[in-house]
């Protein structure tokens, strides 16, 4: 606005000359505070004469771009006309979308949007943190920094001897559509597995590729020996996952089969029997879901890790720790190379029929061996990068 004219003068026929030239006004400004030609207004009417009335803009307005809005009240009547305003309110309806980023295959972003009032989030491509200091724009993969603008690393591959045909600076062998690199060392495709709900056997069947997701086909073997899939569960690979499938339960406990994609580690977990609960200090298993990991504190199991999420607090102290029998669980996950009664090697898997002969008694075997494998993986990846996913695939007739 300037002294030579007014917004009202520019409005022309939109102003009712028989009413006071009193308005509620809205003007949109660009991020540099310059006008962009977008505005709205509403004039006071004669119904407000010696009375109270509500003056409001007729509709909600969508901001044309990032910037500012100026909302003000004005009385530009040329004659002496007193107009009183009270209780001015401005309601802002924010978008439900907090952040959106589109990616080129190598990780560079475009068409990005972040709500103006949202907290800054730099965990972008493949869930890795983007370093914004010094305007570098590099992604922290753990072992190396990655430049999504160049599709290249800035230091050599620590496993370069294993890939002599490739430049030590290449990113996923120049194939970001089908390959991922979880920590900056070696590319790998997402995998596809069959999970047998009867025996607990997890078998890798393909390098399915195409995304950063592992695929688990949950099913049973029919009378002809063919695997029949009942459901497929998709699990984001991220920085590392431990995927557990509850498939067997009796009055004394629950047995899950688990694996760690990208490694040879697989085995079983023993938990309390159902039902699941979020409540602390109860010897029951935790609900299905995705759990974060943190280093355990306290004198008991000081080298192990706690599971937690928004429903299960760290204070509940749900650990992955050594133990063989259901009396050892207290809600925790006890790993083992096998399950049942008696000694077993790492590859031993008992069938549901064998377990049925010992109904009411479940245990894991070689717990210490399997725990060392799990903890080694978590420390290598970093506990904050690893997720534990728990799924319930127990057959109705085995509950």
Report yes or no on 86 lying in a domain.
Answer: no
> Do 168 and 309 have their domain in common?
no
Q: What's the CA gap between 105 and 178, in Å, rounded? A: 10
> Do 339 and 203 have their domain in common?
yes
Q: DSSP states of 269-331 as a string?
A: EEE--S-----SSSSSPPPSEEEEEEE--SSSSTTSEEEE-SSS-GGG-EEE----BGGGTTT
In this model, does residue 375 exceed pLDDT 70? yes
Neighbouring C-beta atoms of residue 37, cutoff 10 Å: 7
Last residue of a domain, one of 174, 208, 231: 174
In this model, does residue 348 exceed pLDDT 80? no
Q: What is the DSSP letter of 188?
A: B
Beta strands 138-140 and 129-131, pairing class: antiparallel
Report yes or no on 350 lying in a domain.
Answer: yes
Is residue 190 packed enough to be buried (19+ CB in 10 Å), middle (13-18) or exposed (0-12)?
Answer: buried
Structure confidence by residue, pLDDT tens digits, 145-188: 999 988 999 899 888 887 788 899 999 888 887 677 878 887 76
Give first-to-last CA distance, the chain, whole Å: 75
> Do 206 and 339 have their domain in common?
yes
> Do 29 and 156 have their domain in common?
no
Determine what percent of the chain is predicted with pLDDT higher than 90: 25
In this model, does residue 6 exceed pLDDT 50? no
> Do 170 and 211 have their domain in common?
no
Q: Model confidence at 16, in pLDDT bands (50, 70, 90)?
A: low
> Do 337 and 211 have their domain in common?
yes
> Do 132 and 263 have their domain in common?
no
> Do 127 and 247 have their domain in common?
no
Q: What is the DSSP letter of 11?
A: H
Report yes or no on 242 lying in a domain.
Answer: yes
Q: Measure Cα distances from 11 to 24, 42, 72, 199 in Å.
A: 14, 11, 16, 78
Contact 340, 355 (CB under 8 A): yes
pLDDT for the residue 341: 47
Going by C-alpha positions, the residue among 329, 319, 265, 278 that lies closest to residue 295 is: 319
Neighbouring C-beta atoms of residue 23, cutoff 10 Å: 22
Report yes or no on 1 lying in a domain.
Answer: no
Report yes or no on 48 lying in a domain.
Answer: yes
- Measure the CA angle with vertex 56, ends 7 and 117; round to 5°: 85
Last residue of a domain, one of 174, 206, 240: 174
Query: What is the count of structural domains for the chain?
Result: 3
Give the predicted TM-score (pTM) of the model: 0.53
> Do 152 and 264 have their domain in common?
no
pLDDT for the residue 238: 75
Structure confidence by residue, pLDDT tens digits, 202-258: 998 877 644 467 889 999 998 888 899 999 998 887 778 999 999 988 877 899 999
In this model, does residue 58 exceed pLDDT 80? no
Beta strands 227-236 and 241-250, pairing class: unpaired
Structure confidence by residue, pLDDT tens digits, 64-82: 777 888 888 888 887 777 7
Report yes or no on 82 lying in a domain.
Answer: no
> Do 201 and 249 have their domain in common?
yes
Q: Model confidence at 7, in pLDDT bands (50, 70, 90)?
A: very low
pLDDT for the residue 13: 40
SS3 state of residue 354: helix
* Partners of residue 390 on adjacent β-strands: 244, 289
Q: Which of 40-49, 117-126, 163-172 has the lowest mean pLDDT?
A: 40-49
Supply the range of the domain harboring residue 114.
99-174
In this model, does residue 17 exceed pLDDT 70? no
Last residue of a domain, one of 174, 205, 223: 174
Contact 171, 128 (CB under 8 A): no
Reading the block at residue 93, the tokens are 């309806």
| CA dihedral sign, ordered 158, 161, 167, 172 | negative
pLDDT averaged over every residue in the chain: 80
Q: Is the peptide bond before 10 cis (omega within 30 degrees of 0)?
A: no
Report yes or no on 92 lying in a domain.
Answer: no
Report yes or no on 334 lying in a domain.
Answer: yes
> Do 291 and 144 have their domain in common?
no
Q: What's the CA gap between 164 and 167, in Å, rounded? A: 8
> Do 165 and 215 have their domain in common?
no
């Amino acid at each position: 606005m300037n002294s030579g004219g007014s917004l009202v003068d520019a409005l022309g026929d939109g102003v009712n000359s028989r009413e006071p030239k009193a308005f509620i006004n809205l003007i949109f400004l660009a991020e540099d505070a310059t006008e962009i030609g977008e505005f709205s207004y509403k004039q006071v009417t004669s119904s407000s004469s010696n009375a109270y009335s509500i003056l409001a803009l007729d509709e909600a307005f969508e901001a044309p771009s990032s910037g500012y809005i100026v909302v003000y009240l004005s009385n530009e009547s040329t004659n002496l006309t007193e107009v009183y305003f009270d209780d001015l309110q401005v309601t802002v309806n924010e978008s439900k979308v907090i952040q959106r980023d589109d990616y080129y295959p190598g990780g560079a972003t475009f068409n990005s949007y972040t709500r103006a009032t949202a907290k800054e989030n730099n965990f972008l491509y493949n869930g890795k943190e983007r370093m914004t200091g010094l305007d570098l724009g590099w992604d922290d993969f753990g072992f190396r920094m990655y430049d999504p603008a160049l599709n290249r690393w800035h230091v050599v591959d620590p496993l370069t001897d294993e890939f002599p045909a490739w430049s030590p600076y290449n990113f996923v062998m120049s194939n970001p559509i089908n390959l991922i690199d979880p920590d900056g060392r070696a590319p790998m495709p997402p995998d596809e597995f069959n999970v047998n709900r009867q025996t607990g056997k997890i078998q890798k069947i393909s390098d399915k590729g195409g995304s950063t997701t592992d695929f688990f086909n949950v099913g049973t073997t029919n009378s002809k020996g063919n695997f029949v899939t009942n459901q497929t569960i998709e699990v984001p690979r991220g920085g590392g996952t431990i995927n557990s499938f509850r498939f067997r339960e009796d009055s004394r406990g629950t047995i899950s089969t688990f694996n760690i994609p990208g490694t040879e580690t697989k085995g079983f977990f023993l938990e309390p029997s159902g039902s699941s609960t979020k409540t602390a200090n109860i010897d029951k298993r935790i609900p299905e879901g995705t759990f974060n990991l943190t280093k355990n504190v306290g004198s008991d199991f000081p080298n192990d890790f706690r599971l937690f999420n928004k429903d299960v607090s760290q204070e509940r102290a749900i650990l992955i720790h050594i133990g063989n029998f259901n009396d050892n669980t207290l809600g925790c996950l006890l790993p083992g190379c096998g399950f049942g009664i008696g000694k077993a090697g790492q590859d031993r898997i008992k069938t549901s029929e064998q377990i049925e002969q010992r109904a009411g008694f479940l245990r894991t075997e070689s717990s210490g061996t399997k725990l060392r494998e799990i903890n080694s993986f978590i420390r290598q990846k970093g506990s904050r990068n690893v997720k534990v996913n728990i799924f319930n695939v127990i057959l109705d007739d085995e509950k």
